[in-house]
Chains A and B, each alone.
Chain A
């Protein structure tokens, strides 16, 4: 017994990465365990019911899981844990949703007491119809998502074998001249297509859009793409025109400003969730065409109402794309039951090692508050404290110093507070992009930045997602949305796109020492540290002295 794996009683698995069997073991356990942390020496995986059911859905059985644990484990695996794994996995597939030739959608069971148990649940009762035989009950087709979600909550996840509608066919081809899908992207597309529906987890900058395009080329049908905002929608359109056989006219934008419905339509979450007089007027978009594929960009941001609509779309293929399945609201299980199980996942560092994302140097710059600032901070109202310490003047000096050091490179300054950004923009003589900046202006500035006409850009959180800034090599974060871990990941993603000259990216986080800014920063950084991005800490004084 000298395996690379240590099985903990709280169902976490510790994988020693330097062990010679580590790769083998990683492949064996990745099927059922979620990678929770991937710092430099020991990676932590967690075995959850969701993960085990994911594995069942992917065709693994309990025996394989138990074998993998026992084979690689350094210490004897607690018997109770093995029993628990087997029992949990055994719960999946007792219930199946399938198409019945005469009764339509039905829920069948191989274990009658389970069916009896779930039918007794108050939450299931309104979703099912007549009992067809002792083992079968009819389900209203419109409740397919709802019942899956509820069954998962009851602990009896149903296997969905009811299949998908093909949707309206539309020819889409990948236009691979001068580029090709990377191996992991191909793998992701394949896994997704094989599984029918599901989520692909890739780091920012690893080319999630291309996974979407690849999937569309597989589906060859009309596609609805849901994205976070208009800029992102334009980005998708731009990318699709460039990478596929689709033309500008075939791609529609459905946003606050434009309401086009084309064979491929890109809609924003915002417009879908706009409520007028208690109704969602734009919901009909889902029914406006016979969509064959629905792509959810940044699925971890999926707003709650969209979950509800998605429940009604269970007959369509669904692809979720995200950099992290961490949701601050803990609704990961809804993603599992409504979009689908995780189909592909790769640690960031692994993709970096393959050279597809740039290596990054993460630095936290600790700024000391001056005495008068400290006094002001101590007396500030609780809700103003973060704003106060996050926008301290000292940060401006440090930011300027960093910008000076990297003069000539493409630099992004990212922040939360508009006043601070405006001030920074003024001092750095750089344009500021914020919520009120018009889309036209934004695109103009982004283009200029891309072309190298301007080298410093100050952006608010509007730029958090999905804007392709290929040549940004330095990002300086001066403030953020409190302790949001996924925001930090997204921002780091801004500089991780591979650089033309292959040099390193820099990610600076400027933090006020001994304030809640530092606490939030620690929380934000934890996710990245767990992804293997270790932060270096530098004192502002040192940096200024060097600068």
Chain B
């Protein structure tokens, strides 16, 4: 380690300890899928374009700005040069304080390596971030003098050098170096620019913050000529000139960025509510959420909407659902998607495919309210389904429908979690403005390229805020107590300090700053427990989430209203349930009366139709009277009793047979009445007996016809019993809830990480350990060892005795050759059993597949 520093990324990785490798792999899990065989391979993979792009996209704004600055710095660059680029000549204490953290982050992610004096950005990142005519850099800087003069004739270069006031040299390379030296020297450069006419300086001013390219005519004006002659502008193509990077940096006072953002913007609370109010509001909304999902699925009990051929719910069905739930369409889409993601509804998979509740829904219904909510909330938090997209169009301009394909967005769970974590960072009861939350998110995960207002993450964040409110995770915009528990976040007092061991460890992964930035002490939000460092609380693992959800349910349970066992009956034929009702009571009332208004209370209205429905469901008038008397806090009003008796008196008075379709009635006057009615003509009724009518029409038509005429006939079975028409709820076969679709491989857990690192290290040991040259020294270094089979056997047997490790060449069944380091344990029957350092396990190899064997060089 006393060497001048690592010479490659692989070497730099080799120098890192396990914890720091684990941090790298956690931040970039794509690197270990599949597990690389050694650190060289890891380094190669870390340098691939796809992986680097992915890593860059996950940097916060300041780290990205640092990487961009490194991309325009010399390669390698010293820390001081980088600091100069970030702060400019004047210096900026905040940037100075924040930079170590940013560099540490870049190092940790293996985007930067090398000692403090030789910081190197990995080549791919440099290519991605360095300015080129096709991809102008976000810094607005152009190419260096050296790059820009690459194709220039030596004569022209000499002319420029001389005009700029330097001595001519005998070759272009030294001329360019001299020119670069001049441009980098603030004093001489100032003098050079002072000579330039004012117009020329204006031209430079226009280009200084980029884009650095300008158009010139074939015969440039004098002030442009002046600049071109001194190399202050260099031609790139006919008619195009560029401001060399060194000149721009001089004009910018050394700054690579016009503005740097070393500190994350803190989400500002716009209102602070009492925590009790927040919790109560959220609990109220949580209750509404449960009621809405139940109502939705009950609505679909008798045949839900059809599944579109392309999958999903038609716009009309969504509209209808929205009307039924009395919410707007986007909100209806949210509930539908939530129920789907929670596995409560699915397609029934029949020929005429329809959506319906799953058996899981029935189980869910049986659970206590708080647990039902926890299931919904947990589903929402981890789902990749994104209801906010419903109604929009995909890249191919196809409409995105609710429950349809194309709604999965892998960023959704992460954004939801992040937004809620930000809320959790605020004091209890504080509601931030959505814009300040968005600002913060943009800082943490800036888009490369131009900023847009409605990029996916911003939209996801906005949806998260509204959905959290709908679901009762937040109340009045502030995170509720149970919402906090759902995140697994500690109580707010603890959150201020982030004292939890788990979180401290994780915040270390992102901040990783050996020195916690000093700005925390003088930051503007010092008094608020707002994090100035981007603390990334990782989403919980499924078992942890289950624990957190259960905790949330426990917190929520006492806040939910207790179901009541009574209603208030009134003379205007309404019943008011002044709170949620116990399930059997609610079910019965739903049949017996129509719901008129919902919310904290429910207003039911009794109508002849609703009473008939109850009678149709097999209740008798006396049942209904007893039911009302038992559950009413107030005497049953006389008009209501009359209504029930009236309907009951008429109910079933007429009986309609299914098999032969007949009407029978003891009262022949009534049959006369029917026969005389013109509207009965279409039913083609025929009088069988004074009390019986028959028809060719099917019973349903007959029933409808008679009801339309104002009668209340009852259907009759073959045995003469009244057929009870109580609808059965429609269910799908058992269905699994859709799996979230994560972006990239899952974050590896500790076991996998340890195993991966051991494997990589072992592979590395195999490939890098110096080997003893075989005595014959015939095999060139690096090739598979080749020895005769007798020699192989002998060496192996010797190794068993000495316990030494051997380096073998091995060809597997597919004929692929590999090198392995093994410690033979046993040699018998044409097989060698050995501990394989490469695979980190004991394996058995057939000796005939071993191409050769070599002893390892002695370790020095």
Contacts and interface: CB of A to CB of B under 8 A. Distances in A.
19 contacts: A6-B578, A8-B601, A9-B599, A10-B599, A14-B578, A14-B597, A16-B578, A39-B571, A40-B570, A75-B579, A75-B599, A76-B283, A76-B475, A77-B281, A78-B288, A79-B476, A513-B646, A526-B572, A534-B638
A371 B578 contact: no
A129 B642 CA distance: 62
Q: Which 4 residue pairs of A and B lie closest in terms of their CB atoms, listed nearest first?
A: A8-B599, A534-B571, A76-B284, A75-B600
A40 B634 contact: yes
Given A74-B600, A514-B710, 12 more contacts: A8-B601, A9-B598, A10-B598, A12-B599, A75-B561, A76-B285, A77-B284, A79-B475, A79-B476, A378-B674, A529-B572, A529-B573
Interface of A: 1, 6-10, 12, 14, 16, 37, 39-42, 44, 73-79, 364, 371, 374-375, 378-379, 513-514, 526, 529-530, 534-537
Most-contacted residue by chain A among B572, B601, B677, B678 (CB, 10 A):
B572
A455 to B, nearest CB: 30
Contacts of A513: 646
A539 to B, nearest CB: 9
Given A8-B598, A76-B280, A378 B677 contact: yes
Given A78-B288, A79-B476, A537-B639, A44 B603 contact: yes
A375 B673 CA distance: 5
A519 to B, nearest CB: 9
B280 A1 contact: yes
Contacts of B599: 6-10, 12, 75, 78
A75 to B, nearest CB: 4
B282 to A, nearest CB: 8
B570 A76 contact: no
Contacts of B574: 37, 39
B601 A14 contact: yes
Contact of B570 (A12, A39, A537): A39
Contacts of B601: 6, 8, 14
A8 B600 contact: yes
Contacts, number: 120
Given A1-B280, A9-B598, A79-B476, A375 B672 contact: yes
Interface in B269-289: 277, 280-281, 283-285, 288
B597 A8 contact: yes
B603 A14 contact: yes
The DSSP consensus for interface residues of chain A is mixed
A42 B574 CA distance: 10
Nearest to B712: A514
Interface string B612-652: 00000000000000000000001001110010001000100
B411 interface: no
B322 to A, nearest CB: 14
The DSSP consensus for interface residues of chain B is mixed
Interface in B598-612: 598-601, 603
Interface of B: 277, 280-281, 283-285, 288, 326, 469, 475-477, 561, 568, 570-574, 576, 578-579, 597-601, 603, 634, 637-639, 642, 646, 650, 669-670, 672-674, 676-678, 709-710
Given A39-B570, A39-B571, A74 B326 contact: no
A299 B677 CA distance: 43
Contacts of A8: 597-601, 603
A76 B285 CA distance: 8
A375 B634 contact: no
A67 to B, nearest CB: 13
A514 B570 contact: no
A514 B651 CA distance: 12
B285 A14 contact: no
Nearest to B431: A79
Contacts of B600: 6-8, 73-75
B571 A40 contact: yes
A14 B570 CA distance: 13
Given A41-B568, A76-B281, A379 B469 contact: no
Contacts of A371: 669
A375 B676 contact: yes
Most-contacted residue by chain A among B277, B576, B600, B650 (CB, 10 A):
B600
Contacts of B709: 378
A379 B709 CA distance: 11
Contacts of B676: 375, 378-379
B312 to A, nearest CB: 27
A529 B477 CA distance: 42
Contact of A78 (B285, B477, B637): B285
Contacts of B669: 371, 374-375
A379 B677 contact: yes
A450 B85 CA distance: 103
Contacts of A514: 646, 650, 710
Given A8-B603, A374-B669, A79 B598 contact: no
Most-contacted residue by chain B among A39, A76, A77 (CB, 10 A):
A76
A513 B710 CA distance: 13
A537 B599 CA distance: 32
Contacts of A537: 638-639, 642
Contacts of A1: 280
A364 B676 CA distance: 30
Contacts of A536: 638-639
A534 B639 contact: yes
A7 B285 CA distance: 13
Contacts of B573: 529
Nearest to B573: A529
Nearest to B569: A41
Contacts of B570: 39-42, 529
Contacts of B477: 79
A374 B572 contact: no
Most-contacted residue by chain B among A37, A39, A530, A535 (CB, 10 A):
A39
A6 B637 CA distance: 23
Contacts of B285: 76, 78-79
Contacts of A534: 571-572, 637-639
B578 A535 contact: no
A371 B672 CA distance: 10
A480 B576 CA distance: 31
Nearest to A514: B650
A7 B573 CA distance: 21
A6 B597 CA distance: 11
A455 B457 CA distance: 82
A74 B284 contact: no
A365 to B, nearest CB: 12
Contacts of B634: 40-41
A32 B650 CA distance: 44
B667 to A, nearest CB: 9
A364 B475 CA distance: 50
Nearest to A80: B469
Contacts of B672: 375
A37 B677 contact: no
A53 B673 CA distance: 55
A316 to B, nearest CB: 39
A514 B646 CA distance: 9
A535 B597 contact: no
Given A42-B568, A374-B673, A537-B642, A10 B284 contact: no
Contacts of B572: 37, 39, 526, 529-530, 534
A526 B280 CA distance: 36
Contacts of A78: 281, 284-285, 288, 599
A383 B280 CA distance: 55
Nearest to B559: A76
A529 to B, nearest CB: 4
A318 B185 CA distance: 86
Contact of B576 (A42, A77, A364): A42
Most-contacted residue by chain B among A8, A10, A12, A378 (CB, 10 A):
A378
A537 B574 CA distance: 17
Contacts of A16: 578
Contacts of B638: 534, 536-537
